[in-house]
Structure 1
């Protein structure tokens, strides 16, 4: 009797890219960043376990909500490597990300609400500008805009 237990069918990088709707280079990037893993077959080609499909889906959702890749990697490393992430796993991940997303939404709403009073002024040093120069503290340094985005 044959004692060899065949592996579940693994996926090539092209198959994963097609199934996930991402470029092959994106998968290479995710792998280089430690977000997903593959093994090499005898021909030195990447082969992915099927659970990578769900992991890439999680990465894409997290990225769309603004979660930095370092945080995504940290969260994925906390999941068991031997199985696909499930609903309970997603619940744990999304709780933290949801709180950050809510805070980001609040910051963006405040910015949006303050922006209306600044559009068109262009100087960013008027005492009426609540975004960049509250109280016109930069006006004491001389004329012109003093703050630039990095």
Structure 2
């Protein structure tokens, strides 16, 4: 048994096999500081088993549309020097939950208002007279205010 295996470390190939990520992606995430490989005397990257969870989290978060910077901010809350425990993951989930809830709310508003007024200020649809009479949503700012914000002070809810 190698020293790395005795310490519970996995090679980059083993991590790739367990996560489904390409070795090049794992190297990139390591270079970006999202995971922290340990190096053998020969320079080979070795990873903790807990890095499988970190990498899986990165993969899922990216598929949900989060940027690497948003993911990095959340992962900074996890310890690098030890395997994150349940409490560590609960802390990170609270921050991510707020982002997800906001995105879910925006998607629901988009779904519910896409066929009518989205508060864009165009006033080209007859229905806008019902949802946004006299373009009151413009007071909340430019763009699709009725989708981007939970409510606007235009009587639109």
> For 2:106, what is the secondary structure of its paired residue?
helix
Q: Which contiguous aligned blocks of 4+ residues in structure 1 show a shift greater than 6 angstroms? A: 134-137
Equivalent residues in 2 for 1:51-66 (5 A)?
51-66=50-65
2:140 is aligned to none
Q: 1:48 to 1:9 in 2, by over 3 A?
A: same
Normalising by structure 2, what TM-score? 0.65
Q: CA deviation at 1:38?
A: 0.9
Q: CA deviation at 1:81?
A: 1.7
1:70 is aligned to 69
- Specify which structure has the higher proportion of helix: 2
8 A Cα contact 2:78 2:89, kept in partner = no
Residues 86-108 of structure 1: CA distance to partner in whole angstroms, max 9, x if unpaired?
A: 22111111111111111111111
Q: CA deviation at 1:110?
A: 1.2
Residues 37-87 of structure 1: CA distance to partner in whole angstroms, max 9, x if unpaired?
A: 112223222111222112112223333333322132222223222222222
> For 2:15, what is the secondary structure of its paired residue?
helix
8 A Cα contact 1:12 1:48, kept in partner = yes
- Distance in 1, matches of 2:45 and 2:59, equals 21
Q: 1:50 to 1:13 in 2, by over 3 A?
A: same
Residues 102-136 of structure 1: CA distance to partner in whole angstroms, max 9, x if unpaired?
A: 11111111112222248xxxxx7725486xxx779
1:35 is aligned to 34
> For 2:35, what is the secondary structure of its paired residue?
coil
Equivalent residues in 2 for 1:1-150 (5 A)?
8-117=7-116, 126-128=124-126
Residues 8-47 of structure 1: CA distance to partner in whole angstroms, max 9, x if unpaired?
A: 1321111001011211121112112210011222322211
Gaps of 5+ in 2: 136-142, 144-157
8 A Cα contact 1:128 1:136, kept in partner = no
Aligned residues: 126
2:153 is aligned to none
